Amino acid sequence: MVAGLSTELNILEAARKVFMQKGFAAARMCDIAKTANINPALLHYYFRKKEKLFDVIFEQELDGFHSDIMSILHSGRTFFENIRLIIDKDIQKVASAPFLPMFILNEMHSNPERMQRSLGIIQRHSALFNVFREVVEREHLAGRIRAVCPQQLFLSIWGLTMFPFLAQPMVKMALEIDDQSFDALIRERSEYVSDMLIKSLQV
Amino acid sequence: MVAGLSTELNILEAARKVFMQKGFAAARMCDIAKTANINPALLHYYFRKKEKLFDVIFEQELDGFHSDIMSILHSGRTFFENIRLIIDKDIQKVASAPFLPMFILNEMHSNPERMQRSLGIIQRHSALFNVFREVVEREHLAGRIRAVCPQQLFLSIWGLTMFPFLAQPMVKMALEIDDQSFDALIRERSEYVSDMLIKSLQV
DNA sequence: GTCTATAGCGGGATAGAC
DNA sequence: GTCTATCCCGCTATAGAC
């Protein structure tokens, strides 16, 4: 029907919000219906089960996660320039969806089986790391950076950029800051993290 | 009764396991009872509600989180030595309870109100940061480290040490490593992170 | 203190009218 | 496609015997 597509998108939008904030177990179908301003029964008409609906959201979110990093790595710029771009992109993306990291990691943690359902995502993620590793090794052989374990560096980039969002409530509490100060901290973080990483990599 | 205390401890131990793995919403009182090998009704005899039981666990876990860092900061060692000790302690502690960071952050995220119930914890956490800030500022004035935003540094230490555990399933997937390789990565991480931080702080 | 039995409800899912 | 009504299960919580 005419309204079909728009209703479906409407549901997906609402489900995204609710699942991201509450996670699978705590999310209520009623909440999703209320957020979408539709009848609860409609959720089952479009997506047969809660889990089906969740899977759609989860896959979408996970897939777009590091999609543009690959292209940055393949650009002609220097390694240090690329580091800055990647950090910037990561922080910028997550800042616009601050619940995303927590959502992804939490669900992967609480339901590891879900992951194995979508092999394609796994492949894309490890492909990303392999490119990253090659670049790091090339840079070191060329004498432009010091010897470094690519895995550790990869983990560090993720940790430095995503942790503030993962721990947002705790961070605000421990640092005694409000929303504005937190935003300011995030705005300054990109440069701070890039400087720190680059300085630690210089020969 | 005689069995009273041991049953209570038994319950707490079981509840810790289940809540840590599943989180509040997905955890089942039955699972806890089964894990503790007791009758489900007993849970309500000792702790009136699921939430009461959860609160006890949550508070315990959160409180012990950074308890020994304070004493490290107050020791007579140099700043760089302290950085190494803190990183080491953090990683070591979390490695022995890898679900802990995810548990804490997830519950703070999904139920921020719970936090306000226990003001003491908030105070201890911000006290920790204040000591850290003073130390950093003193070191900079003494010319022993370069100028650095204490908040950013604090966030970085946490992120670099805790992220690997928070993202463990994703990390294994992206880096294509198994449990053994992950453990090896963690063992090497303490030194890697310390070196990186110290190098970026040197004047 | 520990058990059995069961109340009571919240929430996912379906049937069927429109 | 959308609605109302309702089923039914799983789970928390309690009553009450032992």
Q: Which residues of B touch A123 (CB under 8 A)?
A: none
Task: Based on the fold, state whether residues B134 and B189 are members of the same structural domain.
Answer: yes
Q: Is the pLDDT of residue B1 over 70?
A: no
DSSP state of A37: T
- Which residue from A89, A93, A123, A121 is spatially nearest to A107, judged by alpha carbons? A121
Q: Is the pLDDT of residue B2 over 70?
A: no
Task: Based on the fold, state whether residues A27 and A74 are members of the same structural domain.
Answer: no
Task: Based on the fold, state whether residues A16 and A70 are members of the same structural domain.
Answer: no
Q: Is the pLDDT of residue A119 over 70?
A: yes
| CATH number of the CATH domain containing B27 | 1.10.10.60
Mean pLDDT of chain B: 93
Task: Based on the fold, state whether residues B157 and B197 are members of the same structural domain.
Answer: yes
Could you read off the pLDDT of B79-101 as tens digits, one per residue?
Answer: 999 999 999 999 999 999 999 99
pLDDT at A186: 98
Distance, CA of A152 to chain centre: 19
Could you read off the pLDDT of A120-170 as tens digits, one per residue?
Answer: 888 888 999 999 999 999 999 999 999 999 999 999 999 999 999 999 999
Q: Please give the protein residue whose CA is closest to the C1' of the nucleotide C11.
A: A28
Which percentage of chain B shows pLDDT scores above 70? 98
Structural domain boundaries enclosing A178: 54-201
Q: What is the mean pLDDT of residues B155-168?
A: 97
Q: Does B128 touch chain A (CB under 8 A)?
A: yes
pLDDT at B203: 87
pLDDT at B161: 98
Which helix (H) or strand (E) segment is A174 a member of? helix A168-175
**Would the Cβ of A29 be found within 7 angstroms of any atom in strand C?**
yes
A200 contacts A143 by C-beta, under 8 angstroms:
no
Task: Based on the fold, state whether residues B80 and B174 are members of the same structural domain.
Answer: yes
Task: Based on the fold, state whether residues B129 and B186 are members of the same structural domain.
Answer: yes
Could you read off the pLDDT of A48-84 as tens digits, one per residue?
Answer: 999 999 999 999 988 877 777 888 998 889 999 999 9
Q: Is the pLDDT of residue A3 over 70?
A: no
Q: Provide the CA B159 to C1' C3 distance, Å, integer.
A: 48
Alpha-carbon distances, residue B153 vs A60, A113, A160, B3, B13 (angstroms): 33, 36, 10, 49, 35
Task: Based on the fold, state whether residues A38 and A93 are members of the same structural domain.
Answer: no
Task: Based on the fold, state whether residues A70 and A138 are members of the same structural domain.
Answer: yes
pLDDT at B3: 63
What is the spatial distance between Cα A176 and Cα A36, in angstroms, rounded to a whole number?
A: 35
Q: Give, as ranges, the nucleotides of chain D with any atom within 7 Å of a protein CB.
A: 1-5, 10-16
User: Domain boundary at B48, B63, B79, which?
Assistant: B48
Task: Based on the fold, state whether residues A153 and A67 are members of the same structural domain.
Answer: yes
Q: Which residues of B touch A98 (CB under 8 A)?
A: none
Task: Return the closest nucleotide (C1') to the Cα of A3.
Answer: D1
Q: Is the pLDDT of residue A11 over 80?
A: yes
Task: Based on the fold, state whether residues B42 and B73 are members of the same structural domain.
Answer: no
pTM, rounded to two decimals? 0.94
Could you read off the pLDDT of B97-139 as tens digits, one per residue?
Answer: 999 999 999 999 888 887 777 778 888 889 999 999 999 999 9
Task: Based on the fold, state whether residues B19 and B67 are members of the same structural domain.
Answer: no
Q: What is the mean pLDDT of residues A86-103?
A: 94
Q: Is the pLDDT of residue B63 over 90?
A: no
Task: Based on the fold, state whether residues B160 and B93 are members of the same structural domain.
Answer: yes
User: Domain boundary at A16, A32, A48, which?
Assistant: A48
Query: Which chain A residue is nearest to residue B109, measuring alpha carbons?
Result: A169
Q: Which two tokens stand for residue A19?
A: 């699942």
Q: Is A30 exposed, middle or buried (0-12, 13-18, 19+ CB in 10 A)?
A: exposed
| CATH number of the CATH domain containing B129 | 1.10.357.10
pLDDT at A113: 80
**Could you say which residues from 34 to 53 on chain B have a Cβ atom under 8 Å away from some Cβ of chain A?**
none
**Could you say which residues from 108 to 127 on chain A have a Cβ atom under 8 Å away from some Cβ of chain B?**
108-110, 112, 115, 122, 125-126
Into how many domains does chain A fold?
2
Q: Pick from B108, B167, B196: which is nearest to A170 by CB?
A: B108
Could you read off the pLDDT of B178-193 as tens digits, one per residue?
Answer: 999 999 999 999 999 9
